[in-house]
Amino acid sequence: MKYLNYANRIKSNRTPETLISLLDLSPSMDDNDWPPSRKAAAIKANIELIEAKAKHYPQDRVGLIGFSRRAKVLHDPIPLSNGTDSLRNALKDTDGGLSTNFTVALELAEKCLFETQTIPRSNFISRMIAELLYETDEQNVTYSSPNRTPADTVRRIVLLSDGEHNTGPCPLKVASRLKSAGVVIDCIGIGGSPASIDEELLKKIASQNPDGSIRYCFIGDQQKLLRKYQSLARHIRPA
C-alpha cells in the first residue's frame, strides 16, 4: 500500500496510532552546542511528544529505540493511557556506541510495528539479546510478538539524527519496505548545520505527503525542535 493512498484514508480523530521514535545515540549527540547537549534536547523533545500524545490521544501507543552502530529497544510500544512514566524513565537509558546505522534502527522499528517478527535462529540467550540488538542473520525464525501493533492502527516512525549513516548496509531497502506497508516516516536532522547531515539520504528515507512535500526537515534550534515534536504528536490529517 503506497503512502499517498494510505494517508488519504486516515481519520485524524478516530484512527489510533503507534509511533516509534528513533533516537541517534552516536557520540556527536553529546556535543554541547545545544546546552547541555544535543542528546538532552532530543530527549526533552521526545518527552514533549509523549506528554502531548497522552493528553490528546491516550489510546495511541509509543515506543522508543536508541541507535548508534547497533539499535536497542528502549521501550516497547505501550498505550499512553498508562505508560507515560515508563516511557520517560526509558529515556534515561541512552548510552550509545560508535558510528551511526540507520538501517538497524529501521529494521528494529519494523519488528516493533508488525505482528510477525524475524530473529536469528539461535539458543535462548542469543534470542533474548536479539530482542534488544536486532541484526540480520543467515538463518532466521519467525514468531509472534506479545507487543504487536493492532492491525487497524496507523503506523509511524520518527527518525532523529545529527549526522550521517556511516556503517552497515544502505537503509533505503528497509525504508521502502516500510513505506510500501503503509508506515509513515518522518526524518529530522539536528545540530550545527545542514552540511553535517546526509540530507539527501534522509529525504529518500522519509515519506512523501499527498502534496508532494517530503517529511524531512533540518532543525538548528532547541525550541524549534520542541515545537516540531509537539506537532508530530498530532494525528496525520487527510489531504
- Cα 106–110–116 angle (5° rounding)? 155
What's the whole-model pTM score?
0.82
Name, in order, each residue with C-beta under 8 angstroms of 156's C-beta and a sequence gap of 6 or more: 17, 18, 19, 20, 183, 184, 185, 186, 236
Dihedral angle, C-alpha 40, 43, 44, 47, nearest 10 °: -160
Q: What pLDDT sits at residue 2? A: 42
CATH architecture of the domain 3-232 equals 3-Layer(aba) Sandwich (3.40)
Q: Name the 3-class secondary structure at 167.
A: coil
Residues 19-41 have a mean pLDDT of: 96
Task: List own/partner pairs for 225-229 with CB under 8 A and 24 or more apart.
Answer: 225/41, 225/42, 225/45, 225/188, 225/190, 226/44, 226/45, 226/48, 228/45, 228/188, 229/45, 229/46, 229/48, 229/49, 229/52, 229/158
Contact 89, 133 (CB under 8 A): no
The string of pLDDT tens digits covering residues 80-139 is 999 999 999 999 988 888 899 999 999 999 999 996 444 443 444 544 544 454 443 333
- The helix (run of H) or strand (run of E) holding residue 24 is strand 17-24
The string of pLDDT tens digits covering residues 159-217 is 999 999 999 999 999 999 999 999 999 999 999 899 999 999 999 999 999 999 999 99
Task: DSSP for 97-138, please give it.
Answer: -SS--HHHHHHHHHHHHSSEEEEE---HHHHHHHHHS----S
Mean pLDDT of the chain: 84
